[in-house]
Chains A and B, each alone.
Chain A
Amino acid sequence: MALIDYRPDAMRCTRCSYCKWVPLDLVKSWRYAKGCPSVEHGRFHSYSGGGRLITYLSLLDGRSEVTDRVVDIAFKCQLCGNCDVTCKVCRYDMEPLAAQHEFRFWLVEQGRVPTRYESIIDGYRRRGTMVGDPNTLVGDPQSDGLRWARDLRVKDLNTDRGEVLLHPGCRFSYDGGLGPVARTSLEILQEAGLDVGVLGAGRCCGGRVYHMGYRDDFTTAAEATLAAWEAAGVKTVVTLCADCYHTFKRLYAERGSSVEVVHMVEMVARLLAEGRLEFTEEVPLTVTYHDPCHLGRQGEPYVPWDGVEKKIFGQAVVYDPPRPRYNGAQGIYDAPRDVLRAIPGLELVEMERSREAAWCCGAGGGVREAFPEFNAWTAAERVEEARSTGADAVVSACPWCERNFLDALRGPRGGDGTGVAAPFQDSGVAAAPAGRGVAAPGVTAAADAPFQVFDVLDLVRQALPRKGA
């Protein structure tokens, strides 16, 4: 596809602005009705899903030119996909998220990218991972990316063959602050009797460079990884990272991969359902689950399609053969919740914006790397929402979300996070009678009460039978 292929989407946009909100049926309060971090931060209509369609229509029509503002519009967005979900509540002929990807590819080809992108992509090409940018990213790419597996007997699929690959992803490999999630996962898989191996450190899925608009760099990474999988005889990849999950499940599949892709929370849910895994230890916490964009609304399986637009009933626009409809309906929402609900002593409460309507953690689309202030702003908003549920902790199934929330609470270097204010704390619903269901006054993400951040696998580890018990 090319940008011009999305011209019909722009022409058929009605500027309804649904893309700025969560699906309107799901609005439960003034406070948490908004769904698009980009337009809430950038404010002008151009920063919304529909606004971007019109922005590049204007460019294609020769009515405007690529300015610094246009570059900002194109890249200051997490590509979280909320706009895609809300647009498709009513439309079958629009692909706002795919169009935004194409907008970035188009600008990258012209060399029109945000200022910080050049050093970021240079770093990626040198290190082979997005982790480790000295300014914005926590993690140490110089470390041994397999240290989490130390003392465990595990196949190295660089030299051995095995059907199941555990892929921890860059962040769990290099971000030592995220805890022993990868190690726990490996132990679970081994105890379940799976023939599991690892491919060693430094193998980035390439998803993040794809989202930044560097399609060629992604293709290079994907081809290398697919070749390694094939050489090792990999049939199933189990990943701990929602970004990797989406990359393997959708982007690699688009390039011909038939390898089964499973997120570790799906695997745990499967093992629990089959009675092959049991939780015995109480975890006395009230938690709320944050749906990662790439596991939730964008976690739908890839469906091959090579078709054309056609018209029925005179002018109704349909596709021949039917075009797959990625609208968040079939994302991975229940598996992590099933796992959490199975943990003794743990209570799960929901945020208003959940499942396909989840507010993004802020890290995606190159935003964590290139726009740290916007990234932190977005994360603070989610942390605030999580706290509003009364939960003790927010739990996710993606290390990028987890890292972002930790940074929002404590600062990227372990500080107190006081530089991060929740975006909407100064406005809201006021003067209603107390105690009648109106949103609580805003609090910052760095309020006094201790609030914790976990990966689902952190809690799984705590709930597993004590070794030797």
Chain B
Amino acid sequence: MGFTPEVYKLFEDIVGPENVSDDPAVLDSYAFEVLADLVRPEQSHYMPRPVAVALPGTTEEVQALVRVCNVHRIKVKPLSTGWYHFAAPQSDEHDTLQLDMRRMDRILEIDETNMVAVIEPYVIAAQLQAEVMKLGLNINVTGAGASCSILASACAYAGQGPMAYWMGGNAENLLALEWVTPTGDVVRTGSLGSGAGWFAAEGPGPSVRGVCRGTFGSRGGMGVYTKCAIKLCHRPGTTEWNVHGTTPAYRLPVDDLFRVYTLAVPSWDAWADLYYKIYDNEIGYIFHRQFNLAGANLAPAFWLMYNDHTKTLGDVEWMAQDPAVKELTEEMRISFQFIMAGRSTGDIELQDRVLDALLQQVGGWKVERFCEDDMAEFTNMYLQRLGHKHINYVWAGGYVGTWMQIGTPDWVKNYIPIASAGLERDAADGLLVQCGGDAMMGSGSGFPGGGVTGLEQFVSYDANDLESTRAAVRHMEDAVKDAASHGLPPGKEGLYLELSKTDEQVHAELAAANQPAIFRFQRKIKDAIDPNDIGDRLYATLPPEG
């Protein structure tokens, strides 16, 4: 059992020889993944190397490949755009076939009337957004940004982001789904399962959205999602996409029905109050603490540098010392970006008045420099498309998000000092980027209408520097301890660190989780749907019973 030349020939027969490879260099381009260096032995940048990579073009080809893998006990790991170590094979002990879904890249349907799009795995957010915007519609582009697969965000990951406040997270926006299960069966969920079309996730037809997604999302660990329908939302304003400006800081004119602001407050208490008031008053369209990813000490200098194409990263050093920039840095130390959209001129004007009143109530203000035309258009571009997410890595090619526990603003504000102190402490030796303890970024709300939020600490390290990389690992471990010492669960770093642990360690942690019944139930699902264990442990379960 396992991978052999005969099995490779079977793969070739299914997808054609031009769509399968076992060349080691090709395979390494799939094994190499960001964040691998934080969880792999000796800080290797490579996850386990797949035995082959195949590029299926149809659901039938996926099905055939999966069935061959069942016969030969080869694990199957699909990726669409493939950013993060979750997308790579997870096991050194087992053979894994990597499925690169790039040939399945079509938008199959845009149903304008019912506000539904049907897509394949390799449709990225930028593509779908561009098409639906022509119809006055929009999608939720997730926090991972416009380069990422909408299908993957909806079916296999959390799917939240700055636009979820208006449009909902993509886990919620997932409608009917076509799923090749780990045994190679094709399951069509929701309305699709009863031949009624793509419009509903929960019926009439099998309602298995929760089963295939798991709690957070199966991250490619539970079969292959080959098509899905995603909910679209109304987008006010123009249907034109009149981008202008010089690379890299492209700009999008602010439509008459939109407002684009960077807002600041004097304290974290005021920050939480303002979030609640925004939720309660039902204003806003895109809601995000975005620019602080560069760190509260450096963010203004960084973004002003970025908006001048004649400058480079090194200019931030002297720009941060400019008295005017220093003043700006203090002015926007606790700030976030806020875009409002009105359904009419009266609506947007009312939202403006409401926002002004809310700012007055909490002692907040609009950051004038970042609300001027150039920066407003840049902010508008950045957040409407989320096409600059790779800038997370701008300092040195290495970034890991820590914290990001989700809760009410009051709950979140309480861990900000802990997270900030932790980064200041861990960066003091110069092995992490020193941009101020508060490099916390996150969506105003992960759910439509608000209610809960979360902030992620942006920890930047040099991915080409072993000591810096090790410092990032230490920081992740420290963040878990810092959180635990305050009675808090692990944040994103906990998810990442999971990949460095043995199956036994992971199972023990899941058994000790607050709600282990979830993982016991998912074990039953796994046993039923993946009896040959060709998925991986990213579909979280307790160990097999007995």
A interface, CB within 8 angstroms of B: 7-8, 11-18, 21, 23-30, 33, 43-46, 51, 54-55, 57-59, 63-65, 67, 69-70, 73, 85, 87-94, 311-320, 322-323, 325, 327-330, 356, 427-433, 436-438
Which of A14, A67, A432: most chain B Cβ within 10 A? A14
Residue of B nearest to A16 (CB): B390
Inter-subunit contact A67/B250 (CB<8 Å): no
Question: Could you name 29 residue pairs across A and B whose Cβ atoms are closer than 8 Å?
Answer: A11-B397, A11-B464, A13-B32, A17-B82, A18-B147, A24-B385, A24-B387, A29-B131, A43-B55, A44-B26, A44-B29, A44-B55, A45-B100, A55-B25, A64-B28, A65-B24, A65-B25, A73-B25, A85-B247, A90-B390, A90-B394, A91-B394, A312-B317, A313-B434, A316-B316, A317-B313, A317-B396, A317-B397, A327-B248
Q: List the B side residues contacting A45 at CB < 8 Å.
A: 26, 29-30, 82, 100
**4 further interface pairs, Cβ-Cβ under 8 Å (given A314-B427, A322-B314):** A27-B126, A58-B24, A90-B394, A91-B393
Q: List the A side residues contacting B24 at CB < 8 Å.
A: 58, 63-65, 67
A23 to B430, CA, bound (A): 33
Inter-subunit contact A90/B388 (CB<8 Å): yes
B interface, CB within 8 angstroms of A: 18-19, 21, 23-26, 28-30, 32-34, 45-46, 53, 55, 81-83, 100, 102-103, 105-112, 123-124, 126-131, 134-135, 145-147, 239, 241, 243, 246-248, 250, 252, 298, 309, 312-317, 381, 385, 387-391, 393-398, 427, 430-435, 460-465, 468
Inter-subunit contact B100/A44 (CB<8 Å): yes
Inter-subunit contact A46/B29 (CB<8 Å): yes
Inter-subunit contact B247/A438 (CB<8 Å): no
If the complex has contacts A89-B390, A316-B396, are A429 and B147 also in contact, measured as CB distance less than 8 A? no
User: How many contacts A-B (CB < 8 Å)?
Assistant: 264
If the complex has contacts A11-B463, A25-B385, are A58 and B25 also in contact, measured as CB distance less than 8 A? yes
Inter-subunit contact A55/B145 (CB<8 Å): no
Q: List the A side residues contacting B28 at CB < 8 Å.
A: 54-55, 57-58, 63-64
Partner of B19, one of A25, A43, A87: A43
A8 to B123, CA, bound (A): 31
Q: Is the interface of A mostly helix, strand, loop or mixed?
A: loop
Inter-subunit contact B25/A316 (CB<8 Å): no
- CB of B387, distance to nearest CB on chain A (Å): 3
Residue of B nearest to A68 (CB): B23
Q: List the B side residues contacting A431 at CB < 8 Å.
A: 108-111
Q: List the A side residues contacting B388 at CB < 8 Å.
A: 24-25, 89-90
Partner of B105, one of A316, A327, A427: A427
Which of A325, A356, A429: most chain B Cβ within 10 A? A429
If the complex has contacts A44-B29, A69-B23, A69-B25, are A13 and B397 also in contact, measured as CB distance less than 8 A? yes
If the complex has contacts A12-B398, A313-B435, A325-B312, are A437 and B134 also in contact, measured as CB distance less than 8 A? yes
A181 to B316, CA, bound (A): 47
Partner of A12, one of B29, B127, B387, B393: B393
Q: List the A side residues contacting B398 at CB < 8 Å.
A: 12
Inter-subunit contact A12/B130 (CB<8 Å): no
A430 to B82, CA, bound (A): 25
Inter-subunit contact B29/A54 (CB<8 Å): yes
Partner of B312, one of A46, A318, A356: A318
Q: List the B side residues contacting A92 at CB < 8 Å.
A: 312-313, 394
Inter-subunit contact B128/A30 (CB<8 Å): yes
If the complex has contacts A44-B55, A67-B25, are A29 and B130 also in contact, measured as CB distance less than 8 A? yes
Inter-subunit contact B387/A436 (CB<8 Å): no
Partner of A316, one of B21, B135, B391, B433: B433
Inter-subunit contact B55/A14 (CB<8 Å): no
Inter-subunit contact A16/B147 (CB<8 Å): yes
Q: List the A side residues contacting B394 at CB < 8 Å.
A: 90-92
5 smallest beta-carbon distances between A and B, as pairs: A12-B397, A24-B387, A437-B134, A318-B314, A64-B24
Q: List the A side residues contacting B395 at CB < 8 Å.
A: 313, 315-317
Partner of A318, one of B21, B317, B389, B432: B317
Q: List the B side residues contacting A7 at CB < 8 Å.
A: 464
Inter-subunit contact A323/B108 (CB<8 Å): no
Q: List the B side residues contacting A319 at CB < 8 Å.
A: 312, 314
A258 to B360, CA, bound (A): 60
Q: List the A side residues contacting B309 at CB < 8 Å.
A: 327, 329-330
Residue of B nearest to A426 (CB): B106
Q: List the B side residues contacting A55 at CB < 8 Å.
A: 25-26, 28-29
Inter-subunit contact B397/A93 (CB<8 Å): yes
Which of B23, B26, B145, B250: most chain A Cβ within 10 A? B26
Q: List the B side residues contacting A14 at CB < 8 Å.
A: 34, 83, 390, 393, 397, 463
- CB of B264, distance to nearest CB on chain A (Å): 23
A92 to B243, CA, bound (A): 22
Residue of B nearest to A317 (CB): B396
A298 to B317, CA, bound (A): 28
- CB of A11, distance to nearest CB on chain B (Å): 4
Q: List the A side residues contacting B130 at CB < 8 Å.
A: 27-30, 33
Residue of B nearest to A74 (CB): B25
Q: List the A side residues contacting B381 at CB < 8 Å.
A: 25
- CB of B451, distance to nearest CB on chain A (Å): 30
If the complex has contacts A17-B82, A91-B390, A318-B312, are A23 and B127 also in contact, measured as CB distance less than 8 A? no
- CB of B315, distance to nearest CB on chain A (Å): 7
A58 to B31, CA, bound (A): 10
Q: List the B side residues contacting A44 at CB < 8 Å.
A: 21, 26, 29, 53, 55, 100
Q: List the A side residues contacting B53 at CB < 8 Å.
A: 44
Q: List the A side residues contacting B100 at CB < 8 Å.
A: 43-45
Partner of A23, one of B123, B247, B435: B247
Q: List the B side residues contacting A437 at CB < 8 Å.
A: 131, 134-135, 239
Inter-subunit contact A11/B45 (CB<8 Å): yes
If the complex has contacts A14-B34, A30-B127, A314-B430, are A322 and B23 also in contact, measured as CB distance less than 8 A? no
Residue of B nearest to A324 (CB): B312
Residue of A nearest to B125 (CB): A24
Inter-subunit contact A21/B246 (CB<8 Å): no
Partner of A327, one of B241, B247, B435: B247
Q: List the B side residues contacting A29 at CB < 8 Å.
A: 127, 130-131
Q: List the A side residues contacting B81 at CB < 8 Å.
A: 17
- CB of A28, distance to nearest CB on chain B (Å): 5
Inter-subunit contact B462/A317 (CB<8 Å): yes
